[in-house]
């Protein structure tokens, strides 16, 4: 099966334009930007901490992602199914994998725009002090990989419903589950399965990257996570035909 | 051109299409008729590669839908039911997106978009958002999208569904125009649409083909192809016996307060002969007309009265 990048680009353009064809995409990014900057500066108060660190920001983003990513992915398949355009897309000469990749990359790009809107935080810190840039780069890499993993999962979940709200809520629950799996109180409940659950959890790998530790195993984990959900999405679509 | 051989499709335990077979020649306009839920849309979706048949095969232009789906999709234009479109886009952007999906080069895109927009009279609406169009114009955009890659085959699922009579007439005129150069399969449950636009009718009921005939043969299928209605002033007895003796056909009679009505069903047009009979017998003729047995009656008989 050889994929056509031209086809993936066509789907990508259509999807990325969908975010910005209405004011919703812009409003979403502005609110996100204001909200995240407020969290960073005031919870806890950045000026009282007396440290040039973005630890607080990367910590908050883990929680924000649980709502941000489902909001980005909820419509990807659900809207197509509800409006019937799924018939348009699947009766044109696209391979299933091309449609999945086009949609996935568009959602990833939108997340990229959202992350870019936070860039003034490290720039501001850099101008007033000397932060550990490796920690900041590691944190952003972690955020990118965490977002990429959640998007693959959200895209997969969106396939199973016509209702965007249901897709949103189920994706929140799934993000929460994969996140909580790495926490000690949860692991204690799992008994001997604890270490396995810890390794399967996204928080375990994200926290490692956010601490500035570039471990290829963490990157491999996220890439595997993405691959599994993309393949399951492909399988679910083919199975429905 | 299109060979559908023994295709079946089930959803969970429900058999939507059961062992359907038909062949369509190049240049034919075929109406896929049937009540709601008969299996028309499922059949069309299998022909466009949206669904895979559970069994059987579909060949279009010598290619198999399971092996060569992408090649077949490049040769066919499909209008889904209810003209599903991306409502957030402008008409021009939507058509451009569809054109790019077929990997056409820029000059072909320009030429084909001009053709599709002119054929569907969308010039005034080219820069409008799809969401702001009326249902009739959305349907036109859907049809324009099916034409954008100049396919040899058009598969139109209920192209006039939900339109007002003027819009229906316009779309039917457009389909007839397109039929000059393309093979067209359209589904509908509006019988008049098949009579107005198609050369051949395939009637599907409960997932099976119950009739597949050229329209010219359809009217001859039933013994009584023509009904002649005769109304005489006053209540007159013995007319039915004379008509049955003279024309050797069965006559229905109905006596009202001031008139007598008779209906003679025959395989040929009997209006002139009955007029001559009435004239020679000096019957007080009030009304005389002949009508073709409608496809509707045949449809009702074949589908058990479902609409």
Domain ranges (residues) in chain A: 5-240
Main-chain phi, psi angles of A83, to 5 degrees = -85, -10
Average pLDDT over residues A204-222: 85
Q: Quick: pLDDT tens for A217-237.
A: 889 999 999 999 999 999 999
B91 domain residue, yes or no: yes
* Mutate which: A2, A25, A92, A99, vs B, most B CBs within 10 A: A92
B164 and B56 fall within a common domain: yes
Nearest residue to A1 (alpha-carbon basis) of A98, A103, A105: A98
Give the span between the Cα atoms of B152 and B140, in whole angstroms.
18
- Mean pLDDT across chain B: 87
Tokens of B163: 């339109």
Domain of B290, CATH number, reads 3.30.70
Contact B176, B197 (CB under 8 A): yes
| pLDDT grade for B179, boundaries at 50, 70 and 90 | confident
Tokens of B66: 């399971």
- E-strand ranges in B37-152 read 55-60, 63-64, 76-79
B245 and B180 fall within a common domain: no
B118 and B137 fall within a common domain: yes
Q: Quick: pLDDT tens for B89-111.
A: 999 999 999 999 999 989 999 99
B285 and B154 fall within a common domain: no
Considering B215, B237, B264, which residue would you say is the last residue of a domain?
A: B215
Share of chain A above pLDDT 90, in %: 50
Contact B47, B4 (CB under 8 A): yes
Main-chain phi, psi angles of B45, to 5 degrees = -65, -35
Q: How many CA atoms lie within 13 A of B304 on its CB side?
A: 7
Nearest residue to A103 (alpha-carbon basis) of A198, A16, A229: A16
Domain of B95, CATH number, reads 3.40.50.300
B187 and B233 fall within a common domain: no
pTM for the predicted model, two decimal places: 0.82
Checking if the pLDDT of A119 tops 80, the result is yes
Instruction: Find the domain containing B279 and state its range.
Output: 222-298
| pLDDT grade for A172, boundaries at 50, 70 and 90 | very high
B15 and B122 fall within a common domain: yes
Considering B215, B247, B278, which residue would you say is the last residue of a domain?
A: B215
Considering B215, B235, B258, which residue would you say is the last residue of a domain?
A: B215
Number of domains within chain B: 2
B125 and B27 fall within a common domain: yes
User: Which residues in chain A have Cβ-Cβ distances shorter than 8 Å to B76?
Assistant: 91
| pLDDT grade for A187, boundaries at 50, 70 and 90 | confident
B129 and B259 fall within a common domain: no
Q: What pLDDT shows up at residue B224?
A: 55
B22 domain residue, yes or no: yes
User: Which residues in chain B have Cβ-Cβ distances shorter than 8 Å to A106?
Assistant: none
Give the span between the Cα atoms of B7 and B17, in whole angstroms.
7
Contact B17, B9 (CB under 8 A): yes
B115 and B191 fall within a common domain: yes
Q: What pLDDT shows up at residue A52?
A: 64
* Mutate which: A14, A24, A85, vs B, most B CBs within 10 A: A14
| pLDDT grade for A193, boundaries at 50, 70 and 90 | confident
B287 and B159 fall within a common domain: no
B307 domain residue, yes or no: no
Give the span between the Cα atoms of A69 and A168, in whole angstroms.
9
B203 domain residue, yes or no: yes
| pLDDT grade for B129, boundaries at 50, 70 and 90 | very high
B165 and B81 fall within a common domain: yes
Check the CA dihedral B98-B99-B102-B103 and report its sign: negative
Q: Is B132 on the interface with A (CB under 8 A)?
A: no
Nearest residue to A104 (alpha-carbon basis) of A153, A161, A145: A153
Q: Is A239 on the interface with B (CB under 8 A)?
A: no
Q: Does ipTM exceed 0.90?
A: no
Other CB atoms within 10 Å distance of the CB of residue B44:
25
Residue of A nearest to B49 (CA): A91
C-beta atoms of B85 and A85 within 8 A: yes
B163 and B112 fall within a common domain: yes
Sheet holding B153-157, edge to edge: B76-79, B153-157, B183-188, B29-33, B200-205, B208-214
């Amino acid at each position: 099966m050889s994929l056509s990048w031209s086809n993936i680009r066509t789907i990508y353009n259509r999807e990325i334009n969908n975010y910005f064809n209405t004011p919703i995409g812009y409003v979403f990014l502005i609110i996100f930007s204001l909200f995240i900057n407020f969290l960073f500066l005031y919870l806890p108060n950045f000026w009282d901490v007396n440290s040039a660190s973005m630890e607080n920001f990367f910590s908050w983003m883990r929680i924000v992602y649980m709502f941000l990513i489902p909001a980005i992915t909820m419509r990807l398949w659900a809207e197509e199914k509800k409006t019937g355009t799924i018939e348009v897309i699947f009766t044109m000469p696209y391979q299933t994998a091309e449609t999945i990749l086009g949609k996935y990359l568009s959602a990833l790009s939108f997340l990229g725009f959202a992350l870019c809107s936070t860039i003034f935080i490290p720039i501001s810190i850099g101008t007033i002090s000397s932060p550990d840039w490796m920690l900041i780069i590691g944190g952003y890499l972690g955020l990118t990989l965490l977002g990429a993993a959640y998007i693959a999962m959200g895209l997969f979940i969106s396939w199973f419903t016509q209702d965007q709200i249901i897709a949103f809520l189920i994706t929140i629950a799934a993000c929460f589950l994969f996140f909580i799996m790495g926490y000690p109180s949860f692991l204690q409940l799992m008994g001997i399965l604890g270490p396995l659950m810890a390794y399967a959890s996204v928080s375990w790998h994200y926290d490692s990257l956010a601490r500035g530790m570039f471990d290829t195993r963490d990157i491999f984990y996220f890439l595997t996570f993405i691959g599994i959900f993309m393949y399951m999405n492909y399988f679910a679509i083919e199975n429905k035909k | 051109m299109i060979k559908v051989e023994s295709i079946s499709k089930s959803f969970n335990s429900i058999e939507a299409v059961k062992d359907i077979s038909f062949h369509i020649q190049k240049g034919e306009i075929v109406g896929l008729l049937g009540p709601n839920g008969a299996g028309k849309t499922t059949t069309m979706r299998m022909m466009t590669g949206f669904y895979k048949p559970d069994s059987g095969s579909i060949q279009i232009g010598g290619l198999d839908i399971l092996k060569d789906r992408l090649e077949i999709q490049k040769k066919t234009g499909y209008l889904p039911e209810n003209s599903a479109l991306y409502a957030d886009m402008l008409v021009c952007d939507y058509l451009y997106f569809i054109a790019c999906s077929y990997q056409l080069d820029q000059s072909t895109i320009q030429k084909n978009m001009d053709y599709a927009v002119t054929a569907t009279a969308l010039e005034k609406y080219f820069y409008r958002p799809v969401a702001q169009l009326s249902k009739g114009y959305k349907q036109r955009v859907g049809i324009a999208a099916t034409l954008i890659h100049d396919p040899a085959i058009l598969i139109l699922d209920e192209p006039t569904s939900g339109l007002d009579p003027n819009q229906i007439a316009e779309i039917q005129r457009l389909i007839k125009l397109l039929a000059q150069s393309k093979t067209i399969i359209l589904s509908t449950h509006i019988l008049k649409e098949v009579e107005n636009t198609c050369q051949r009718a395939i009637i599907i009921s409960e997932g099976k083909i119950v009739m597949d005939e050229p329209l010219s043969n359809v009217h001859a299928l039933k013994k009584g192809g023509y009904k002649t209605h005769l109304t005489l002033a006053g209540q007159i007895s013995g007319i039915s016996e004379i008509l049955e003796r003279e024309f050797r056909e069965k006559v229905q009679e109905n006596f009202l307060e001031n008139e007598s009505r008779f209906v003679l069903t025959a395989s040929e047009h009997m209006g002139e002969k009955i007029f001559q009979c009435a004239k020679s017998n000096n019957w007080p003729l009030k009304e005389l007309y002949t009508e073709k047995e409608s496809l509707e009656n045949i449809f009702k008989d074949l589908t058990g009265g479902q609409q």
